[in-house]
């Protein structure tokens, strides 16, 4: 059986949806650099643990790295502001990583039948993720609502479009 599903509109936009999906993945990757730049707060703290590290592992601690995720032994040595800033950046990146697989599947499925809607929604999602990072890192968790509310609407719209696409594909199968 060959599935014959034709997009409802603007099939020529599908490649642009793929470009935006790639841009969203790149945006996720780049947010890791924001979080990574916040790790410098551990530099002075690592000096305190250098001797213990040398004794336990027979080598100096790495000059760069990720010694702590914000809730461990090293973070206990941070000031509250350092800890808060580090965790805000960490949360921005981890939230993006958590959402990325879901959004990629939803955008792709939606684009199979509704390329125009998927393109508009994915471009808007790209902008919302940027706004989320800026507002969360710059203003803290309470300011993230600026981008969270529209992202929530985008996600649920994409769920609806994805279910629509799946139902169109299911209609292609014989009903016994």
**Conformation bin of residue 62: beta by default, left when phi > 0, alpha when psi is -120 to 50:** beta
Name which residue leads in pLDDT, 102 or 42: 102
Residue 160: the pLDDT is 98
pLDDT tens per residue, range 115-153:
999 999 999 999 999 999 999 888 888 888 888 899 999
Residue 137: the pLDDT is 86
Mean pLDDT, to the nearest integer, of 104-108? 98
Q: What is the DSSP letter of 160?
A: H
- pLDDT band per the 50, 70, 90 thresholds, residue 68: low
User: Average pLDDT of the chain?
Assistant: 86
**How would CATH label the architecture of 12-37+83-169?**
Up-down Bundle (1.20)
Mean pLDDT, to the nearest integer, of 38-61? 75
Give the global pTM. 0.85
pLDDT at 112 over 70: yes
Q: How far apart are CA 162 and CA 156, in angstroms?
A: 10
The answer to whether the CB of 46 falls within 8 A of the CB of 65 is no
Token pair in block for residue 108: 């792709």
The answer to whether the CB of 16 falls within 8 A of the CB of 77 is no
Name which residue leads in pLDDT, 34 or 115: 115
């Amino acid at each position: 059986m060959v599935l014959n599903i034709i997009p409802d509109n603007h099939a020529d936009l599908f490649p642009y949806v793929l470009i935006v999906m790639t841009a969203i993945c790149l945006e996720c990757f780049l947010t890791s650099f924001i979080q990574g730049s916040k790790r410098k707060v551990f530099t002075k703290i690592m000096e305190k643990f250098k001797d213990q590290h040398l004794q336990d592992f027979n080598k100096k601690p790495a000059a760069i790295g990720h010694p702590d995720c914000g809730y461990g032994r090293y973070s206990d040595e941070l000031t509250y502001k350092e800890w808060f800033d580090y965790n805000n950046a960490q949360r921005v990146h981890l939230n993006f990583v958590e959402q990325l697989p879901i959004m990629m599947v939803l955008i792709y499925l939606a684009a199979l039948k509704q390329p125009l809607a998927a393109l508009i929604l994915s471009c808007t999602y790209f902008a919302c993720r940027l706004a989320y990072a800026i507002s969360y890192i710059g203003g803290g968790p309470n300011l993230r609502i600026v981008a969270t509310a529209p992202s929530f609407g985008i996600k649920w719209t994409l769920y609806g479009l994805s279910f629509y696409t799946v139902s169109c594909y299911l209609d292609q199968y014989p009903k016994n």
